[in-house]
Amino acid sequence: MERRLIARGLLAGALAGLLAFLFARVFAETYIDKAIAYESGRDAAQAALDKAAGLPADTGGPDIFSRTVQANLGIGVGMIGFGAAMGALFSVAYLLCLGRVGRIQPKPLALLLAGAGFAGFYLVPFLKYPANPPAIGHAETIRARGLLYLAMVACSLAFLFAAVWTGRRLAARFGAWNATLLAALGFAAAIGIVMAVLPSVGELPANVRVFGHHGTETPLPLADAKGTIVYPGFPADVLFSFRLYSVAAQTLLWGALGLAFGPMAERVLRPVMRAQAEGSGAPGTVPAAV
């Protein structure tokens, strides 16, 4: 049973990744192109300033893959692979929860777990370190930004697990509703402390040393030696739209994963549930995975 559920998790995740890729390709790709156009224009303006100041030009390196390959094959393979990986992890978490979180039927359990995965893996970390399009972020801070984001994901998942465990423990004393509220409040307080402690990317030492104190790495207007703005800052509408569609794509991915996996899991579990119901006389008991 376990292998069959994990295989179905991989399939459901790959399908969810494909749907998310198609959504992002239609809606988000326009704003990625706008961000790349902004970056190219800003680089040209910076090169002109450097030339006027007698500084050597930064030629950069050639693109290994063309923009067409990146926007289609690259992102497509990446999102489908990510969806399949999340589907495998999702199915393992599903097996761990099966029969241990109350008498929740297979389909609702899949949806609840998908919502928890969306919140833990993406939405909560996004609140501290939101997704950025090209042109935002400096090469010197890639490693630091990656480690900070992974720390947020780890804390989010750990606190989410702790909240579920705490809610189950408190349910007998305070009731399911009050226990859920208390667990949610504890999760919000714990993750809020982590968000307050972790630095914003604009306050990383490499950024402060070169760009001064700013809350983010969003490019500010480019000015010449006299302080005259020669190139505007990053467009706010492009940044907002990119982040909006990033959240929407992840919502679609996790929602599709939960909706696709639920019926698959129910078909796998139905014979086991029927056998247990016939043996105990209780209808629809959800089996606990070994």
**What pLDDT was estimated at residue 289?**
58
Give the Cβ contact number of residue 168 at 10 Å: 16
* Same structural domain, 6 and 150: no
Does residue 118 lie in a domain region?
A: yes
Name the residue range of residue 198's domain: 138-217
**What pLDDT was estimated at residue 56?**
76
Q: What does the pLDDT average to over 128-155?
A: 92
**What pLDDT was estimated at residue 280?**
59
* Same structural domain, 56 and 180: no
Residue 70: is its pLDDT beyond 80?
no
* Same structural domain, 48 and 125: yes
* Same structural domain, 42 and 112: yes
Does residue 228 lie in a domain region?
A: no
**What pLDDT was estimated at residue 135?**
85
Residue 281 pLDDT grade (very low, low, confident, very high; cuts 50, 70, 90):
low
Residue 290: is its pLDDT beyond 50?
no
Does residue 270 lie in a domain region?
A: yes
Which among 142, 122, 135, 138 has a CA at the least distance from the CA of 31? Answer: 135
Q: CB–CB of 83/15 below 8 Å?
A: yes
**What pLDDT was estimated at residue 279?**
65
Q: CB–CB of 219/40 below 8 Å?
A: no
* Same structural domain, 157 and 282: no
* Same structural domain, 278 and 176: no
**What pLDDT was estimated at residue 100?**
74
* Same structural domain, 52 and 132: yes
Convert the pLDDT of each residue in 207-245 to its tens digit: 888 788 888 889 989 998 888 999 999 999 999 999 999
Residue 62: is its pLDDT beyond 70?
no
Number of domains in the chain: 2
Residue 257: is its pLDDT beyond 70?
yes
Give the containing element (helix H, strand E) for 223. Answer: strand 222-223
* Same structural domain, 60 and 126: yes
Instruction: Report the C-alpha gap between 274 and 284 in whole angstroms.
Output: 7
Q: Provide, rounded to the nearest whole percent, the portion of the chain with pLDDT above 70.
A: 89
**What pLDDT was estimated at residue 13?**
97
Q: Single out the residue in 186, 217, 248 at which a domain terminates.
A: 217
Q: What does the pLDDT average to over 55-65?
A: 64
The residue type found at 55 is: L
* Same structural domain, 160 and 210: yes
* Same structural domain, 162 and 272: no
Instruction: Look at 83-92, 104-113, 181-190, 252-261 and tell me which has the smallest mean pLDDT.
Output: 104-113
Sorted by sequence, the CB contacts under 8 Å of residue 146 that are 6+ apart come out as none
Instruction: Report the C-alpha gap between 201 and 178 in whole angstroms.
Output: 37
- Length of the chain in residues, anyone? 290
* Same structural domain, 144 and 266: no
Does residue 230 lie in a domain region?
A: no
DSSP 140: G
Residue 42 pLDDT grade (very low, low, confident, very high; cuts 50, 70, 90):
very high
Instruction: Report the C-alpha gap between 76 and 79 in whole angstroms.
Output: 5
Largest CA distance in the chain: 86
Q: Single out the residue in 217, 248, 273 at which a domain terminates.
A: 217
Which among 265, 279, 271, 281 has a CA at the least distance from the CA of 2? Answer: 265
Does residue 273 lie in a domain region?
A: yes
Coil, strand or helix at 149: helix
Does residue 222 lie in a domain region?
A: no
Q: Single out the residue in 182, 217, 252 at which a domain terminates.
A: 217
The residue type found at 61 is: G
Q: CB–CB of 88/9 below 8 Å?
A: yes
* Same structural domain, 4 and 90: yes
**What pLDDT was estimated at residue 67?**
60
Mean confidence (pLDDT) of the chain: 88
Q: Provide, rounded to the nearest whole percent, the portion of the chain with pLDDT above 90.
A: 62
